Structure 1
Amino acid sequence: MADRAVDRELAAAVRRMALREAAAHLGAAVETTGARVRRVPCPRCGAAVTDSASGGPAVRGPVLDQPLWGGEATRHSTVLVRVLACEEVTARSLLPAFRRGSEAGAQFQTRAVTAAELMHERGSALDFAEWVHLVDIAEARGSVRSPEFGVVRLLPTSSRAGPWAVGRGPGAVPESSFLFPHAVPGSSTMQSHYRDVLLRRVRQRMERSGRTSA
């Protein structure tokens, strides 16, 4: 009975996380000056920032800021989004950062960065269920406080390991993961649950929108 209660709590946390991402996907796009991305090292695969010209390690390390979209127009943006060096996220999942783009100095980080920070804090004792619950709690608050960046807002983003990720085989196209861009033991059932909740909510909203506009 205790195990079933834990499973229900875990499924509920995963559902909340999926609904947050769905809400971000369904939000209206807005015109902004864009944002910059700061890639931070991945504690799992060791991927760090690469120099776009040479493909090798960047001498400047993980604090290299790059325009996210819009080329030159975004270079002076004070909005900063922190992502893992190995992760790939969709443009739509980052919409909340753009909606708040008018706030000078706004700081954001992806869910994978939040998960990585918890991994660093808790170490090998952190199991999958506890990891999910801690990320869910952080996202429910909406932000974390960083000694370096101050208040950092959390983006409820799924991600996948990008083609540049350390150790990724040639031609591999991993499925999107709701928690972390690398394989997490024991997560397959909850990955499916997350995807079902996310797609169902998006479909419901689109159908409702279609009926309203008809």
Structure 2
Amino acid sequence: MTLEIEINRNTFVLHNSGALYWTEKRMLLISDAHLGKVSHFRKYGAAIPEAVINKNFIKLDEVVNYFDPESIYFLGDLFHSELNNEWYLFQQWVEKTNIPIILIAGNHDIINPAKYCELNIQITNEWKLNGILLTHYPEIREGFFNLCGHVHPAIKLRGAGRQSLKLPCFFQSENQMILPAFGEFTGTYVIEPKEGDTVYGITKDTVLPVIITF
């Protein structure tokens, strides 16, 4: 279910939900949850089962219960678009969870910030702590290791013949790690690793390093 790694002398735990846990800070990091996306597309006629909505909140509950964090940082695209009925489900989840939440704003976070303030959610464009830079968009900045989202990274594994398998992944380069999308109803973007990059693939049950050959 999890894999423990070290970044800048800090311990991070990769969870197969796509969440990342910073052990020393008891901080849970989640990127690209895209809450509200299912309702947004259903409104315009997309045939998406309503049960998918509940899956996102079930995942959130599971990962919070697993780590018992002191704070939750959403690395952007928490809510997909305008207010819809999922906002009220999110409001109930925030009140029930009762853990400080910080939102690093992303391109889809267009809801009036006052709505987040009503839930005591702090919004910012970035967050710096112990040489770690939290952003939504990938950003390389001297002196920092960047944890970010936005890309929805995946790795394509190729087998014999034309067989292939695409897995969402944590994608780590020298001074950056891009988190996978947490949301159930999100696409992925296949990344092409370079020499020195590290990829951690996500399966239904675990997180595992991917051996890259060049």
The answer to whether the superposition gives a TM-score over 0.5 is no
Structure-2-length-normalised TM-score? 0.29
In terms of fraction of residues, the more helix-rich structure is 1
Structure-1-length-normalised TM-score? 0.29
Structure scoring higher RCO (CA < 8 A, sep ≥ 6) equals 1
Mark the structure with the bigger radius of gyration.
1
In terms of fraction of residues, the more strand-rich structure is 2
